[in-house]
Structures are given as structure tokens and as C-alpha cells.
């Protein structure tokens, strides 16, 4: 086993073929552990074939952190995000959210968990095509306990002048910003972003990343960002490298660059 000990961050990272575990429960800068994964595995049944995707993940995500999950296509990063977000269940292992094991929750309880605690942003936006941008945000706010005003959420993502536009009337970047507004409008505990810039050009992607950074820094939102792009991962406080269903390494970015400096 190899250890990397960083006194300033008080993180002990252990690399092994089974994954890694963070020994200091308080994490970097004394932040609270929001999510803890222990021995998480996932195998999919595709027709007649079993496809193992995650082979045992141990990971902790901290409150207010912007964490990037970095890996190539097929590495299991989206699967990991889905498990953390409670939209799928692991085949083995535990996932604790604020100390509560979400892997044993019934479907109804998982729905409540997602409703209250999780905001999702998908690669292809997943907006409802027959609803305007305001209405797409309202899909979230109508079920939230303490929602933001939909128009305010859209203004936060600089779409205050597009509230009555349908997705087909907006560019990819604008649609993604609507998706972000939808995610934050319910004031979730954390945001899970699956390749949010994957379908966008550089400039548009940068504008989306700026918003995510803004949310993290101004609202102290915990953000988990899936990407296959190493430059994008640099904007995060931590990059968790996933390969072949395991955590290969974890990197800490002490000085994440400005979004404008990131190019991919």
C-alpha cells in the first residue's frame, strides 16, 4: 500500500486495488463528511449478460466541496453518480448520506431523499420539451419544501429574459443553464452534475462551469462533477480518478484556476 500524507489537508489517501479510504473523518479544512461510500459495487444486467461496472468504491465527499469524478468513457463514473444520487442502488456496499444509509431505503424514501437533498444536472439537459424554462424549473419547486422562486433561479443562471422560452428555442448552453436552475431551485443539499459541458462548445461550457463555481463559492453548495476532461477536473477542489470501476487516485487542487483559464 502507498500512502500520501498531506499535513495541511490532513488527508490520508490510501491507494489499493480495492479503492481508497479517507482515514481523517474531518477531511480537508475541517469540512464535514456529507457522503461516505464503503465497498460499493454495481453490476448491471443487460439482456442476458451481467456487466460489472464498479468493483468496490470507498470514498468520502465533504460539505461545500466541489469534487470532480474523472475517468474515461465506461470507467463507471456516471454509475457512481447515480448511486450517490439515489437514482440507482448498488449491488453491494453502503452509501451514507449525513450518516444515513441510503442503500437500504425503500423507493418512497429514496424519492424523498432526492426531492429534498439532491439536484441533478445531466449531460443532455433532460428538460421537458413541452414546458418553458420557467415551467421546467417549476417541476422542481412544486415539490420542494423550501424552494427558490423559479424566476430568481433563472436569473441566477442569467436566463431571466428567457423564462417563457421552450427548450427548442434555446441553445444548448441555455438549456443546460435551465437544467442548473432547475437543480438549484429546490435548495438541495448537494448537486450532482453528469458531464454538464459534454454537449457544449468551449465558450458555452465555460459559462456553465462559471455558474457551478459561483454556486459552490457563494452558496457553499456541495457539487459533484462528472467529467472525462482533466482540464475541467482542475476547477474542482478534489479530483477523484476512476478507472475500470475503482478509484485509481485522488488529487487535491489547492489553487483551482479561473474557469476562463480552463480549455478542453
Partner 1 sequence: MSVLNRKLRRDLFASKGMLVAIISIIAVGTACFVGTYGTYRNLINEQASYYSQCRMADFWIDVKKVPRYVLKELTGVKGVSEIYGRIISPVIVEFDDVSQPISGCVVSLPANPKPVINNIVMRRGSYFTKERENEVIVSEIFAKTRNISPGSYIKLIMNGKQKELFVVGTAISSEFIYMLPPGGIVPEPGNYGVFWIKNEFAEDRFGFTGACNSIVGILNPESRQNPYPVLDELNRKLSPYGVFASTPLKNQNSNLTLCAELSGLQLETTVIPGIFLGVAALALNILMMRMAEQQRVIIGTLKALGIKNSSIFMHFMKFGLFTGISGGIAGCVLGYWMAFETTQLYASIYTFPDLRNYIYPDIIALSMLISISFAALGTLKGVRKIVKLNPAESMRPSVPTSSKKIFLEKFSSFWNRAGFRWQIVLRNIFRNKGRTAIGMAAAACGAGIVVMSFGLTDSLEYMMQFQFDKVLLSDYSINFRDELDGGALYEARRLPGISYAEPVLNVTCDLHNRNHFRKASITGIIPNARLTFPSNADGKPIILPSAGLLMSGRLAKQLHLKTGDSVTFIPVKGRKKTQTVPIAGIIDSKFGMPIYADYYYLNKLIDENSAISSIHLKASDRGAHIKELFNAVRAFPKLASLSVTAQQKKQMQEDFIAKLKGIVYVMIVFAGVIFFGSILNSALISLTERKREIATFRILGYQPLEVGAIFFREIMTINVAGTIIGLPLGYYMLYGMTLSFQNDMYSVPCVINRVTWLNTLIIAFIFIIAAYFLIQRLINRMDWSEALKLRE
| Choices 12-20, 130-138, 217-225, 229-237 (CB under 8 A): range interacting with partner 1 | 130-138
Q: Which is nearer to partner 1, 45 or 255 (CB)?
A: 45
The CA distance from 69 to 229, in Å, is: 10
Q: Does residue 36 bind partner 1 (CB under 8 A)?
A: no
Q: Is 45 left (phi over 0), alpha (psi -120 to 50) or beta?
A: beta
Q: Is 5 left (phi over 0), alpha (psi -120 to 50) or beta?
A: beta
The CA distance from 64 to 60, in Å, is: 13
Q: Which is nearer to partner 1, 17 or 146 (CB)?
A: 146
- The CA R_g of the chain, rounded to the nearest whole Å, is 18
Q: Does residue 92 bind partner 1 (CB under 8 A)?
A: no
Using CB under 8 A, which of 4, 63, 94, 115 touches partner 1?
115
Q: Which is nearer to partner 1, 82 or 239 (CB)?
A: 82
Length of the chain: 264
The Cβ of residue 128 has, within 10 Å, a number of other Cβ atoms equal to 12
Q: Does residue 41 bind partner 1 (CB under 8 A)?
A: no
Question: Residue 174: CB partners within 8 Å, gap ≥ 6?
Answer: 133, 159, 162, 165
Using CB under 8 A, which of 96, 139, 219, 230 touches partner 1?
139
Q: How many residues interact with partner 1 (rule CB under 8 A)? A: 33
Q: What is the contact surface with partner 1 in residues (CB under 8 A)?
A: 46-47, 79, 82, 85, 87-89, 107-108, 111-116, 118, 120, 122, 124, 126, 128, 130-131, 135, 138-140, 142-144, 182, 186
Amino acid at each position: 500500500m502507498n500512502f500520501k500524507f498531506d499535513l495541511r489537508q490532513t488527508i490520508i489517501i490510501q491507494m489499493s486495488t480495492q479503492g481508497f479510504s479517507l482515514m481523517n473523518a474531518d477531511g480537508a479544512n475541517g469540512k464535514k463528511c456529507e457522503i461516505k461510500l464503503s465497498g460499493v459495487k454495481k453490476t448491471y444486467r443487460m439482456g442476458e449478460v451481467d456487466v460489472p461496472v464498479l468493483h468496490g468504491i470507498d470514498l468520502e465527499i465533504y460539505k461545500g466541496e466541489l469534487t470532480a469524478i474523472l475517468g474515461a468513457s465506461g470507467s463507471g463514473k456516471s454509475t457512481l453518480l447515480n448511486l450517490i444520487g439515489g437514482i440507482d442502488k448498488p449491488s453491494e456496499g453502503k452509501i451514507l448520506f449525513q450518516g444515513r444509509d441510503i442503500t437500504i431505503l425503500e423507493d418512497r424514501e429514496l424519492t424523498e431523499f432526492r426531492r429534498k437533498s439532491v439536484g441533478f444536472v445531466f449531460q443532455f439537459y433532460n428538460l421537458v420539451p413541452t414546458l418553458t424554462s420557467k415551467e421546467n424549473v417549476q417541476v422542481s419547486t412544486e415539490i420542494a419544501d423550501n424552494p427558490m422562486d423559479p424566476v430568481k433561479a433563472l436569473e441566477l443562471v442569467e436566463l431571466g429574459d428567457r423564462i417563457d422560452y421552450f427548450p427548442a428555442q434555446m441553445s444548448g448552453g441555455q438549456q443546460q443553464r435551465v437544467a442548473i436552475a432547475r437543480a438549484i431551485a429546490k435548495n438541495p443539499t448537494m448537486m450532482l452534475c453528469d458531464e454538464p459541458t459534454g454537449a457544449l462548445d468551449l465558450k458555452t461550457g465555460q459559462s456553465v462551469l462559471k455558474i457551478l463555481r459561483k454556486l459552490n463559492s457563494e452558496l457553499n453548495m456541495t457539487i459533484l462533477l462528472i467529467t472525462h476532461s482533466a482540464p475541467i477536473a482542475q476547477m474542482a477542489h478534489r479530483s477523484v480518478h476512476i478507472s475500470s470501476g475503482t478509484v485509481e487516485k485522488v488529487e487535491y487542487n489547492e489553487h483551482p484556476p479561473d474557469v476562463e483559464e480552463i480549455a478542453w
